[in-house]
């Protein structure tokens, strides 16, 4: 125990390395989380306001009506649908 300063500097060095890894890890996690929040927000905004962010408002809905697309035309009366 004649060189007590080595214990203090060794402990301080170990604490500094631990703190560096701890802070670096937190920056990594927080950075990833913020990046995912940003991507999700952008995706939600494109879905909510497609005419602002490069799309048009109703292109995904074109032809979805049975009258326009020609599908799902009723051929039975309502009473007969429930009796079959």
Contacts of 72 (CB under 8 A, 6+ apart): 66
Provide the pLDDT for residue 36: 92
Domain ranges of the chain: 4-83
Q: What is the pLDDT of residues 6-29, one digit of tens each?
A: 777 888 888 889 888 888 888 888
First to last CA, the chain: 96
Q: What is the pLDDT of residues 30-65, one digit of tens each?
A: 989 999 998 888 888 877 777 776 655 555 555 556
**Which value, in Å, is the radius of gyration of the alpha carbons in the chain?**
32
Separation of alpha carbons 23 and 25, rounded Å: 5
Provide the pLDDT for residue 83: 73
Q: What is the DSSP letter of 59?
A: G
């Amino acid at each position: 125990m004649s060189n007590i300063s080595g214990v203090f500097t060794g402990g301080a060095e170990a604490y500094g390395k631990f703190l560096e890894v701890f802070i670096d890890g937190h920056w990594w996690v927080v950075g990833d989380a913020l990046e995912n929040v940003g991507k999700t927000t952008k995706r939600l905004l494109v879905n909510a306001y497609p005419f602002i962010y490069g799309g048009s408002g109703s292109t995904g809905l074109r032809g979805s009506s049975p009258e326009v697309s020609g599908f799902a035309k009723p051929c039975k009366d309502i009473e007969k649908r429930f009796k079959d």
